[in-house]
Amino acid sequence: MSIASELKISFKEGGYLTRLIYINAAVFLAVKISLIVCTLFNVPTLWIRFIEMPASLSVLIYRPWTIISYMFLHTEFLHIIFNLLALYWFGKIFLMFFNQKQIVGVYILGGLGGAVIYLIGYNLLPYFAQSVPNAYILGASASVMAILFATVVYSPNYEIRLALIGNVRLKYLGLAFLIIDILGITATNAGGSMAHLGGAAIGCLYALILKKHNIDISFQITQIINFFSTFSFTKPKMKVSTNNNYKTDKQWNMERKSKNSRIDEILDKIKKSGYEQLTEDEKKELFDLSNKK
């Protein structure tokens, strides 16, 4: 089997977290190779401005698609490596409490939130007035921050192990990222820092509304995903069947709440006694619940 075939199967059968990583990587390779070719042949690379998001509202109005395209765009190797690693790590934790389609919704909402705060900051704060015409933003960082902070608010005391540091609760990790971005608002990557804060705010808002009111504000995005998921590259044979497993929103929300309660029980046991004290059934149950779409 060729590498291309393996990647295609992996993309098709993998979860939405895997697909987000693949999409970001594919866009990076396509853009980076194009930039290299243009440079070698002395071709101007101003076309990149048509997929980066501008701070200037007068430019943005003619390039509205950049509000979406920027959150999948990277041009530097270290930038995409850091973002994809963070997306993978925080995404895995996110999926312990939320489902696969929700991660796409939070990713997009976080990117949109980052874009809004970036635009507000650059267009209203006097410090950035002279920078607006030449300011552009790109990268998945705001989306990743939304995924992280949704998990931070939903389960602030969940612990992760960091090399050289040991166990750290998510709320402290989130606080560290927050402080770094606040201190970086006037630094060279000011736009990025503001976008990060916007993404973090959306992540917090998402989890708070879900916890307190049981409302998923990414629902509309999930519906769009469901719509496009009905299409495939091969035309299926027509088949009529009755879906006896159909669930109403109320039933789905009750099941999700029950699943999350069970996960919390197992995680509390891990914090008190350690992972090794779990029974084999509990370990299997935690794995199944964490990976359930």
Residue 228 resides in a domain: no
Q: Residues 259, 207: one domain?
A: no
What phi, psi does 130 have (nearest 5°)?
A: -75, -15
* Range name among 52-61, 63-72, 232-241, 269-278 with the lowest pLDDT average: 232-241
* Helical pair 219-229 and 100-124, crossing angle rounded to 10 deg: 130
Q: What is the model's pLDDT at position 231?
A: 63
Q: SS3 for 95?
A: coil
Among 174, 204, 221, where does a domain finish?
Answer: 221
| pLDDT (average), residues 161-167 | 86
Distance CA 249, CA 263 (A): 21
| pLDDT (average), residues 189-204 | 97
- pLDDT tens for 30-65 read 999 999 999 999 999 999 999 999 999 999 999 999
What is the number of structural domains in the chain? Answer: 2
Q: Residues 201, 268: one domain?
A: no
Q: Residues 163, 29: one domain?
A: yes
Query: What share of the chain has pLDDT > 70, as a percent?
Result: 85
- pLDDT tens for 221-231 read 878 877 776 66
User: Comparing 266 with 58, which gets the higher pLDDT?
Assistant: 58
Among 206, 221, 236, where does a domain finish?
Answer: 221
Host domain of residue 169: 3-221
Task: Give yes or no for residue 234 having a pLDDT over 60.
Answer: no
Task: Give yes or no for residue 141 having a pLDDT over 50.
Answer: yes
Q: Residues 72, 216: one domain?
A: yes
Residue 239 resides in a domain: no
Closest CA to 200 of 68, 69, 94, 106: 106
Q: Residues 110, 204: one domain?
A: yes
Q: How would DSSP label each residue in 237-286?
A: PP-----TT---HHHHHHHHHHHHHHHHHHHHHHHHH-GGGS-HHHHHHH
What single-letter DSSP state applies at residue 161? E
What phi, psi does 86 have (nearest 5°)?
A: -65, -40
Q: Which residue type is seen at 80?
A: I
Q: What is the model's pLDDT at position 182?
A: 96
Task: Give yes or no for residue 76 having a pLDDT over 80.
Answer: yes
Residue 241 resides in a domain: no
Task: Give yes or no for residue 201 having a pLDDT over 80.
Answer: yes
Residue 113 resides in a domain: yes
Q: What is the model's pLDDT at position 81?
A: 97
Q: What is the model's pLDDT at position 291?
A: 61
Query: Confidence band (pLDDT; 50, 70, 90) for 186?
Result: very high
Q: Residues 260, 141: one domain?
A: no
- pLDDT tens for 87-110 read 999 999 999 999 888 999 999 999
User: Comparing 241 with 207, which gets the higher pLDDT?
Assistant: 207
Query: What share of the chain has pLDDT > 90, as a percent?
Result: 65
Mean pLDDT of the chain: 87
Q: Residues 265, 213: one domain?
A: no
Residue 182 makes CB contacts below 8 A (sequence gap 6+) with 193, 197
Q: Residues 141, 269: one domain?
A: no
Rg over alpha carbons for the chain, rounded to the nearest Å, is: 21
Task: Give yes or no for residue 285 having a pLDDT over 60.
Answer: yes
Q: Residues 34, 95: one domain?
A: yes
Query: Confidence band (pLDDT; 50, 70, 90) for 259?
Result: confident
Residue 226 resides in a domain: no
- Burial of 248 by CB count in 10 Å (0-12 exposed, 13-18 middle, 19+ buried)? exposed
- Burial of 225 by CB count in 10 Å (0-12 exposed, 13-18 middle, 19+ buried)? middle
Q: Residues 111, 24: one domain?
A: yes
CB 186 within 8 A of CB 113: no
Q: Say which CATH number the domain at 111 has.
A: 1.20.1540.10
Q: SS3 for 106?
A: helix
Residue 101 resides in a domain: yes
Stated pTM of the model: 0.78
Q: Residues 137, 264: one domain?
A: no
User: Comparing 35 with 282, which gets the higher pLDDT?
Assistant: 35
User: Comparing 185 with 288, which gets the higher pLDDT?
Assistant: 185
Residue 243 resides in a domain: no
Q: Residues 210, 256: one domain?
A: no
Residue 275 resides in a domain: yes
Alpha-carbon distances, residue 121 vs 40, 132, 144, 184, 185 (angstroms): 37, 10, 20, 13, 10
What phi, psi does 282 have (nearest 5°)?
A: -70, -40
